[in-house]
Amino acid sequence: PFDLTEAFGEAWCVTMTSLPVEETLHHMGVPVVTELPDGLRQVSQRLADAASSRDRAALLLAKPASGTTMVLELEGLRGWIGSDADVLAALSAPDGIACSIMSDPNQSEAMVARAGRVQAGLDTLTGRPWGTLGDDLIRSLGHLGFRAAPGDDAFAVPDQWNSSQCAALVLQATTGVRLTTQHCSDPWVGGLSRRPDLG
């Protein structure tokens, strides 16, 4: 599985939804969507300037990805927009599915929303779930190496993968999209999200 931490460091969030790219970004607080052929460089520059900047926005990068829309966030100082329950619920409405995986130095987690509400999450460090994963997702996770003993309240995460790779596997189990280098490379579309602080 793709290693997001190797690619982007310890702090990142990837959100996938069946909604079109522009609609997805509007739900995530981006009023103006533009072409960003060098989006990763722009985010890197913003991160380098963050200490001296008073800018309260975050630059979101998005692209079509195997029949879904993928949004990459690397500016998480004020909270990951994709991990906000209201945002993720909106990205799964009216009858779709949305998934966010996120990491910072203290946690690695996946969240799943269906048909307008957040249903479940999984800590990809400990394998501990919350909410209702559903039989289909549990089966898909099992095919990818996550094992749950009957009556146990946690999965045994595949020990050959790190938490970043396990998060990518949860995203794959939920959306059917197997992340690759191409998914996570330039070019992008996107823009500045002016959503209020989430963290």
pLDDT in tens, 61-112: 999 998 999 999 999 877 899 999 999 999 998 889 999 999 998 889 999 9
Residue with tokens 């990068």: 61
* Residue 89 to residue 83: CA distance in whole angstroms: 10
The answer to whether the beta carbons of residues 109 and 118 sit under 8 Å apart is: no
Displacement of CA 103 from its chain's centroid (Å)? 9
pTM across the whole model: 0.92
Radius of gyration, alpha carbons of the chain: 16
Instruction: Tell me the pLDDT tens digit for each residue of 13-71.
Output: 999 999 999 999 999 999 999 999 999 999 999 998 876 677 778 999 999 998 999 99
For residues 109-132, give the mean pLDDT. 92
Q: What is the pLDDT of residue 145?
A: 85
Q: What is the pLDDT of residue 196?
A: 54
Q: What is the pLDDT of residue 199?
A: 42
Instruction: Tell me the pLDDT tens digit for each residue of 138-197.
Output: 888 888 888 875 556 678 877 788 899 999 999 999 999 999 999 999 999 999 997 655
22: helix, strand or coil: helix
Q: What is the pLDDT of residue 149?
A: 59
Q: What is the pLDDT of residue 137?
A: 87
* Residue 8 to residue 16: CA distance in whole angstroms: 17
